[in-house]
Structure 1
Amino acid sequence: MLSTLAVRGYRSLRDLVLPLGPLTVVTGANGTGKSSLYRALRLLADCGRGEVIGSLAREGGLESVLWAGPEQLGDARRSGTAQGTGRTRPVSLEMGFASDDFGYLVDLGLPQDPGHASAFAHDPEIKRETVFAGPVPRPAAALVRRTRGFAEANGGSGFDELSRSLPTYRSVLAEFAHSGAHPELSAVRDRLRGWRFYDGFRVDAAAPARRPQVGTRTPVLCDDGADLAAAVQTIIEAGGDDLYRAVAAAFDGASLSVAVSDGLFDLQLHQRGMLRPLRAAELSDGTLRFLLWAAALTSPQPPSLMVLNEPETSLHPELVAPLAGLIRSAAAQTQVVVITHSPTLRELLDTDTTTAVGLIRDFGETLIDGQGLLDAPPWHWGSR
């Protein structure tokens, strides 16, 4: 289980160290940095897939996502006015996590020498990477470390060289994650690749979830919900008790089935008093959205981490309690982070194992409400 998430230099996250529990509920007003936190988590996951450079490019490049305020805010808070200061650290975006076994830290910066007249002069470079043991990325805990093109691994009696010419756009997770030689790299890479993100679903008239689709066994609902019917059928064949209970609680004893014709799968909702089931194309937007969340949360193949961004959006208030029940059940099987605006959902998710995080904004910086220096999880960024 992840215990700490750390982000420095991304949008409003100037230097955020976030505690994580089995179920973490993140709240805050508009503009406090909830979306930035969600995007930072996605970028961190992209490091495991080797896609972080492209993801940053789609956000407008490294310069467009960097913290735009002064490097230090002490003077601004004393004077009430933010002013530019001299830079003491390199331009960088740093992200990392710590868990029960291994942790990971990556430092992305601007290219030093992209090549003469290169069209990729604005692509960020991976300046540093560290895979470490324990809760804090300290030098003594490093298992694999990389500085620009030079990478080395801890062999027990010292560090052994892996490469002197690792391309700055390639991660050690992609290049050296072989279970036989470096199991710690494989563990971190596979963990990052397995994280799941759900940020709402399309439910308009042309949404993929409304149309019959070719179906195969689908233990994991895709992020746009196009394979909803196949995912529901997979859950049903795996037992599906949590899904059955949630649908019945949400819709007065209703049940789900999947009609299959010539390989096309179509979801059906059976409701009391109706002479026939309603197909996915006939469902209301809120009903279909709830069923999409239900399929995501009752996956028979739970990930190590699931991140839900505002799952209550456009749901009727009566559906928030069944949704909360689904999230609590999912959190018993996997670690869950919920980012929400809903006070009702927050209260319904308040359990003994819930970590509640309230975000606030101060001089443009995202802070955790009530977190002081002694309250933050231990973290050490190190340097280039």
Structure 2
Amino acid sequence: MQIREIEISGYRSLREFQLKLGGITILVGPNGCGKSNIYQAIQLLGSAAHGQFARRVAEEGGVPSLSWAGHRHVSDDHRTRLAIKFDQLQYEMEFGRIAISERPSDGQYGEGLRLFKDDPDIKVETVELTGEKPITLFSRKGNSVRAKNLEGRTVDYPVRLLKNESVLSELREPEKFPELSSLRMLFADWRFYHDFRTDLQSPVRRNQLASMTPVLSHDASDLAAVVATIRTIGSAQEFDQFVDRAFPGVSVSIIEDDGELCLYMEYPGLARPLHARELSDGTLQYLCLLAALLTPRPASFMVFNEPETSMHVDLAQPLAEMIVAASRRSQLLITTHSSELAQHVKAQGNCKIIELEKVAGETVIRGEEVRSARAEVEDDDAAAVRAYRAALKKNEPED
């Protein structure tokens, strides 16, 4: 099931942001335009299926750190809204801070609960069957949870949730609620890659356990195992071709040593192969991306945040070819500073390139008409002043 659209509202620089996706979608923009905010918001949505939603929010600084950071219009909601649309299904979540009236002041658990004051309070979760007449398949408001069963009847959903837990993480009786189960599996299948560590102490440079590993971890700490797995049950020929496209005449080898796997690269003219700890940052970054994109177990949706980091511009062409090849198996979303990478991908495959910019602190798509929150606040103030002056004039005594 491909994602058609993602909506993000009230999240840092994303006041009301709509993103329509294709098979490959590339977000291009300068530092500070909000690319990483989009990446993190989608990653936050994906964490709901793993039971990590509250932890992810805490890692990002708590709800106050995630909220819309710009000027507020009087009609702006203080909640954050995340929504995702597929061909026939739509999932939506709204969360915010725990209401002041519900924050503990005393009692047996009051002091302890105050420690979690910045936890997310999930106000609303819904799943709808879209169409001319949308049908609500699942609805949560606070602790009240209702869902349609196989017979089409709306019943109480058998789950007890904390305020900071998504229902996707506490799925019960999936055979009775297939749409909810399907969404959970989709979200759990998503993969996110950003900022592979390549410093001298990075686990990428060390020997790794010899265990078949079809999916690269988010930090690439199992790179050697994934490369060995691709060579064993995946496309070894395709892997070697992409290595040669980036580094002509160079080959990658994996050697087992006492239960550990060692990654080496053999360069023409050198008397010995180079161990992973000797490779450049850009070379390791390229190998990590190659291992992620050529996985023998493709994900339905993969997101890469600035994959070109630390790589020479000459690697943009083979990286683009890797992205196009992977898009035959997965839907891809890429954020990048590199217009060269975006154009290389566009030249080889059908992709959407979306340019981002900031207007009055708000992340927007370049070319779209935007009315900033600041302008709306100023309009409200101006309207209030006009109304006040009109009232004064009306009450002035006649001569």
The reply to whether residue 152 of structure 1 matches residue 127 of structure 2 is no
Aligned residues: 357
* Within-5 A mapping of 1:97-108: 97-108=84-95
SS at match of 1:260: strand
Corresponding residue of 2:385: none
Pair 1:226 & 2:246 matched: no
Find the residue that maps to 2:42 and give its secondary structure. Answer: helix
Residue 97 (structure 1) shift: 0.7
Q: Offset at 1:311?
A: 0.8
**Unaligned stretches of 5+ residues in structure 2:** 371-399
Secondary structure of 1:14's counterpart equals strand
Match of 1:285 among 276, 281, 288: 281
Alignment of 1:276 onto 2:272:
yes
Residue 347 in 1 paired to residue 358 in 2?
no
| Structure 2 counterpart of 1:359 | 356
Deviates more, 1:111-120 or 1:288-297: 111-120
Q: Deviations for 1:309-342, whole angstroms, at most 9, x for unmatched residues?
A: 1111111122111111111111111001110001
Quote the residue 1:41 is aligned against.
42
Larger Rg: 2
> Contact 2:159–2:172 (CA<8 Å) still a contact in 1?
no
Q: Distance in 2 between matches of 1:326 and 1:228?
A: 17
Aligned residues of 1:215 and 1:227 also touching (Cα < 8 A)? no
Q: 2:328 aligns with which of 332, 347, 355?
A: 332
Residues of 2 paired with 1:337 and 1:349: CA distance?
A: 12
Corresponding residue number in structure 2 for 1:312: 308
Which residue of 133, 137, 147 corresponds with 1:143? 137
8 A Cα contact 2:324 2:349, kept in partner: no
* TM, length-normalised to structure 2: 0.85
TM-score after normalising by structure 1: 0.88
Find the aligned partners of 2:175 and 2:157 in 1 and give their Cα distance: 15
Question: Counterpart of 1:381?
Answer: none
RMSD across aligned positions (CA): 1.9
Residues 156-179 of structure 1 show CA distances to partners (whole Å, capped at 9, x for unaligned) of 544212159643222221223543
Match of 1:181 among 167, 173, 176: 176
Query: CA distance change for structure 1 residues 235 and 179 in 2, over 3 Å: closer, same or farther?
Result: same
Partner of 1:226, secondary structure, is coil
Contact conserved, 1:177 with 1:183, CA < 8 A, in 2? no
CA distance in 2, matches of 1:251, 1:340: 22
Q: Residues 165 and 206 of structure 1: is their aligned pair in 2 closer, same or farther, counting only changes over 3 Å?
A: closer
Structure 1 window deviating more from structure 2 (229-238 vs 200-209): it is 200-209
| Pair 1:6-2:7 in alignment | yes
SS at match of 2:31: coil
User: How far apart in 2 are the matches of 1:323 and 1:165?
Assistant: 46
User: For residues 251-278 of structure 1, what are the alpha-carbon distances to aligned partners after superposition, in whole Å with 9 as ceiling and x for unaligned?
Assistant: 1122211000111100111222333322
The reply on whether 1:115 has 2:110 as its aligned counterpart is no
Gaps of 5+ in 1: 73-85, 374-384
- 1:105-138: CA deviation from partner (whole Å, max 9, x where unpaired): 1100221314333322332211000122237xx9
2:365 corresponds, among 362, 365, 368, to: 368
Residue 203 of structure 1 and its aligned partner are, at CA, apart by 1.2
The answer on 1:21 being equivalent to 2:28 is: no
Give the equivalent residue in structure 1 for 2:319. 323
Segments of 4+ moved more than 4 angstroms: none
